[in-house]
Structure 1
C-alpha cells in the first residue's frame, strides 16, 4: 500500500489503484499527506479550498473529511484521520507516501555518495506533483516540488561528475536542461561536466540559452556563480570549483576502533570525538576522513585549532580566515569574526564537505566555524567533551577510550609482525599494560622494539624505567614513562634535538629551520626521531610533535639551552624573511641586521613566488614568535618588518595589526624611535586596509611626531603620503591634496627625487578627482618627466595611467587611449599583472566612451582573463561590462 503525491493523488494497493476523490477533496487529502502526523488547521484548509472567499459555515471542511474517512477505513495501513485542536491530522508512516520516501532516499544517497540509490530515487520522481489538484495553493506546491526535483538531479549530476562519470552526468542532465533552461544549479553542473570533457563550445551554448531564457522568462540575468563559470570556460580555465583536500596523511597501521568507525559512519552533521591526550582522536578522525572521501565530493577542510597549545589556542577569527583561504581569494575575506563567520556559512551552504576541526578547546572556539546547512559534516576532536555543542548544536558525542588489550596487541602485531607477537605473549601483555592502551605510547614502544631481537628485553627495560616528578594522566600507567624510556634510548644528538624541539614556539617546523634550531646539520637526527615515532613528518620536509610529546620535550630542555636555540631560530626566520622582503619590494629601505652566526643557516629564496610560499608556510610560526616576548627585543620589531608585504598581499590584515602592535612595543623597549615610527605608520596602514580609519589616525599622528623628534624628513613625508591614501579611501580629496602637498615639499627639501615624482603624480590624481584638470595634467606631466629621467618604469606607468584617466574625464578619448596604451606597455615590461588588468579596465572604459565597442570588449576580456588567472574578485565586476 502506498499513497502517491507524485502525479495524480491516489492510493495504490495490491488490488489496484483507489481514487480518493477529486476537486476540493483531493486538496484536503494532499494537505494532510504533505505533513503526515502534523496538524493542519481548519483555517489553512479553508483558505486553500476557497482562496479568500470562504463559505459562511465554519464546518464547511467537515464533509470532505468525512468522505476521506470512508476511503481510508477499508484499507489497512492507509492511515487514521483525527480531529485535533482546531484542525485535522493524518496519522501515517511517512515512508508510505511516495514524496516523503523519495526525499528520504535522496538525502541518504547524498550522505553516502551512493549513485545507485540516487538513480533509484529519482527514477520514481514524476515531474508533476499533485496533478489535477485545483487552486493556487496546489500550483505553488507543485512549483516548489518541481524545483526540489531539479535540485536533486543537480546533486546527482555533481556526484556522478565527482566520481569521474561525467559522460553519464551529461546524458542525465542534458534533456532536463533543455526543458528547464532557467534552472541554474542544473545548468552549472552540466556546463562544468561538458567543459571538463573538452566540450566547451557545448557548455557555452547552454549558458547562452540560459542567459536568454532567464532574461525572457524571469526578467533578470544569470547569478554571479553562473557568470563566473561562463568566464572560466571562455578563458579555457578549469570549470570545476576548487576541491580542497587538506586532510593530513592517513595514519599508518591504523588498528581497531571498529565500533567507533561505525558510529562515525552514521553521523550526518556533527560529532565531537573526545578523550585524553595520545588516545588517538586525531588518528581516528583522519582515518575516517580518508575512508569516506567519496562521501564529500566538494572536498575536505582540516584545521588544527591548537586548543591546548602552551602559547595559546587559535582564535575563532583566525580559524575562520584560515578556512576561508582554502575556498576563496584572500582579497575577498572580510575583517572581523561576525563577517567571516557569515561568509564561511555562505561558502559552505551549497557544498558537501568534511570539516575536521582538530584539537578544539571549547564550544566558543568552534561555533563560529560551523556551517549553516546540513550539507557538510563536521568532526571536532578535543580533550574536553564540549557538552555545549552536544546540547545546543546537536553534535553526537563520541568519547574515545584507550585501546582494548586485544586492539593494542593487534597494533603491535601490525608494527612488529604477528608471529613475533604471538611467540612472546607475556612480554606483549607487559607492553600493553605499561602503555595504558594509548596508541601514541604503543607506537613509541613498537618503534623501539623494532630494533631489538627480544620483546622480553624491551618489556624488562620499560618495567624498570620511571620518570620522576610526572604524574600519570589517569589511574593507569603513565605513557610519559614510555616517552622517557624512548628518549633515553636515543643517541645524544637526537636526544638534544628532541629537547630543543620542545623549545620551538610554533605548531610545526621545516627541515631547514631544524638545522638552525640545532645549530648543525640535523638530517640524521630527524630520521632517528621519526623512526622512533617521537616526531611526525606531517608534510614533506615539515615536522610536528604531538601535544603530549611536546610538553614532555619542553620539560627536559634547560633554560640556557632553550634560549640559545630560540635565538638561533629567530635569526633563521629574521635573515630569511629579510632577504624575502627585499625580493618582494626591492625599493624598500633595507633593514640593517647583525650577521647571522655560523651556527644559523638562513634559507635561500630564489624569487617572488618562492618567497611568498615561504612566508605562507611559516606564517603561524612567525605569529607565534611575535606573541611570545622575544629576547633580545629587537626581534619584536624586526620580524614584523619582514612580514609586511606577505601580510598585505595575503589579506592577513588582522594579523598585520597584531604584528605591528608587537613592533611598536618592542621598539619602545629597545629605545628605537625610528623603528617605532615605522611600526606606527605600518600599524595605521593596516587599520586603513580594514576600514578602521578612526583607529588609524592617532597612529599616523604618533608616527609624524616621532619622525619630527628624530628629524627624519623622509619618514614624515612617507607618512603624509600614506595619510593621503587614507583620505582617498574616504573620498576626502581636499584632505588628500593637503597631505600630499606637504609630503611633496618635504621630498623636495631632502632632494628625494623618487618621492617627488610619485608625490607629483598623486597630487595630479587627487586634483583630477576635484575637477581641477589643468593643474592635474601639469603635475602629472612634471611627474612623468622626472620618472622618465630616473628610468622608473613603475612611476612612468602609474603616471601615464593618471594622465589617461584625466583625459577621459575631460572627454578627450583619443589622448586618453594613447596614454593608457603607454601605461599598459610599461606594465607589461615590469610584469605586474594586476596593474595591467587595472589599466585594461580603464582602457576599455575609454574605448566604450568613444564608441569603439569592439575594442572596449577586447580590453575588458583581456583584463578578465588576467584577473581570473590571479583569482581576483574584480573579474566579476569587469565581466559584467561585457555581458550586462
Structure 2
C-alpha cells in the first residue's frame, strides 16, 4: 500500500485509490502518516484533526474513523502510546530521501533526483485539511519544497540550463520578492544569458525594496555577486573581523533580576560564572540575555560554543574542536592540532582583549578548563546541568543556581507572550495556570505557544488541559525538547533512568506512590522519585501523586527498558486487584468472581473505594489499555468488570464504552462464554446510555443469545429493559422487567427480587398503572429495608416519588425524593443523584417552591453536563430558561 500527502491525502494499492472517506477521516490518516512509526495519542489526534472545535464525543468519533480506515485495509494498530501506522511508503518520505541523495550527488545525477522529488507533488500538500495544526504543517512542508527548488535551481545553473530556467525564476521572484537567494539565482541566470544590465537592475530594485520595507541592505553573498557582475571584486578587509558569535536572545525573556545582578561583576578580573539548574529551567536564556545586554562592554568580540555536554544523540564537543572554532573566529587559518598548543595560542590572542566567552551546556570541568582565557579582561559564562565544583574550587568561579520563576515572573512571561488583556481577563484561571506550571520556563513556554497558536481559546481551557496532562508537543520544537529531556537523563543514576522509562511505558498521566512502587518492585522507589523530581522529569503535584508532562512522558516511553513485562504486569495487577476489592465494597451483592493476581491497596469502606476510583480513574483506563496492547486478555476484561459500578455511579458512559469494547475483544480472544456475555451486556447498556440504541440493542441481544444460566438470563433481561426504556419503548421494557422478576423469584435471590420489583413497578408507573406500580414498589422497599440494601432502597424511593407525583400526592413525592437524594449522596452515586434532582425539581415546581425547584434543576444540569448526558442536560436547560 502506498500513501500520498503531497496533494490530496490518498492510499493506493496496485495503482488504484482506496476509498478512505471524507475529509476528517483523511485528516486522521494524514496525522498518523506524518508520525509514521511513532504512536499518536487519541487526544493529540483529536487536537490535530479538529483543532479547537472537536465534536461532542470526539474520542468516540475518532474510534469510528480509525475503524473505518482499518476496514479499508489500512493497518492502524493500538499501542500504549496511542495509534500507530508503520510504513515508509509515503510520497513525503520518498521526496525527502530523493532530496537527500541529490545534495551529495554529482550535478548531472542531482538534477534528475531533484526533478523526481518535485514531480511527487500533485498539488497543494494536505489539500482540504483545515485545522490549525495542518495549516502549520502545510506551511512547513511548502518551505521544505521551496528549499529543494532552490537547490535544484543552483544545479541547473551550474549545468548551463540557465536560459530554460528564466521563466520559472521570474515567476518565483514575483511571488517571493524579498528572497535574496532566489534573487541571486535570477541575476546569475540573466547574466549568463547575456542580459547583465537586467540582472543589475533587478539587484538595484531589490536593494531599494529592502531599504524601504526592512531598513536593511542585501546580504554579503548577494553584494559579492553584484560586484562580480560589475567585473569587480569585493574590497579586501583592512581589519580582522571581530567575532560576534552570540545566538539571538529569547525575545520574551522576563524576570531573573536577582540572577542578572549576581552575574554582573564590577571588577576587571576574570569572572567565571557557572549557571546551574535543571533541564528547561532557562540557563541558556539567562546567559544570552545577560550577554546581549552587556555586549558593548566587550568591544573585541563575543565567542560562543554549545559544548553539547548532555546531548542525547551526539558526543560532547571536545576541547580541541571548540578551540579550533574559536581560533578560526579569531583569524587563525591553520590552527595547531595539539590541545596544549591550541590553548596556549588562544590565551595569547585574547590576553589583552576585552572579550566575552559563553560556554553553553558544559559536561564537566575537564571540558571547559582549556577554554578559559588567561587575560584579565575577559568574562566567561558557563551553563551546565552540574555544579562544576572543580571550577568553583580551582578557578574561583562563582555559581548562580537557577530556581523556578516566582508567580510575578511567571505572570510577566505570559503577559509578554499573550498580552496583558488576555492574561488579566481571567485572573483566577491565570493564577491556577501559573501554579500548575510551577514556574518552570519550559512548561510556561509550551502553554504560551499553545495560547498564541489558538488566540480564541480561553486560558481556562488550557488550564484544564494542563491539569489533565493532555498538552501535545509543538512539532517544530520537538527535537529541541527531546534534547532538553535527554540532558536531564545524563545526570540520573541507572536505577532512576530505568524508573523514568517505566513510568513512560505506563502511559498513565498521573500515578500514586503505591502504583509506582508496584511498577518498580523496589523499596527505594521514593528515593528514585526524588531523583527524578530534582531533574524536573516528574512533578509531585499533590502529596504522594506524581505526573509527567505529556511531552516528557512520550520521550520516556521512547527510552523505556526493552524488557519490562514483569514490571508492567505487577503495575496492572495492582490496579486490577485494588479495583476488584473496591467494586466488592461498592456492590457487595454482585456475583463473586475469581480475583485477579496483584498486590492491592487497602480500602476501608465504600467512601474509601469511591475516593480511590476517583483518584485513579485515568490510571485505571491507562492500565487497561496497556493490558490490551500486551494481549493480557484476562486482566483487561477484569478491569472492565471492576470499573462498571463506579462508572454507573459517576455517569462515565463514554468510558464504559471504551473499557467494555476492549473487554469484548479480550473475551472473544479467551473464548470465555461468561466474559463474552458480560461484555456484550455492559457494552450494550453503555451504548444505549449515550443514545447509540441500534448498536446497544445488537450487543444486548447477543448477550441474551449467548447466556446459558438463569441468573445470567435474568441479568440480561434487566439490561434489555433498561435500554428499551431509554429508547422510549416502556411497554417492551416492562416485558423484560417482568421476565427478570420471574427468573429471580425462581432463583430465590431476595436482593435481585427487590430490584426487579422496583423495575417492574417503575415501568408500570410510566405506563399509567399507578396502583399496581405502587404495590410492587412498596414490596420492593420493604424487602430492601429488611436486607439493608441501601442502593435498592434509594432506587425504590425515587420510583415512589414519581408515582406519588403523577398520582396527585406531591407532598408524599417531596419526601420520597428527599429520602432518595439522601441515600444516593450517602452512596456517592452522582449519576442517580442527577436523575433524582431532576424529578425533585418537577415536584417542587408543582407545589410552588420555585426557588428550590430552580436550585435542584441547576444542580442536576451541572451533573448531567459533567457526565456527558446531553439530552438530559438539554431538557433541564429548557426548564430553566
State the TM-score, normalizing by the size of structure 1. Answer: 0.47
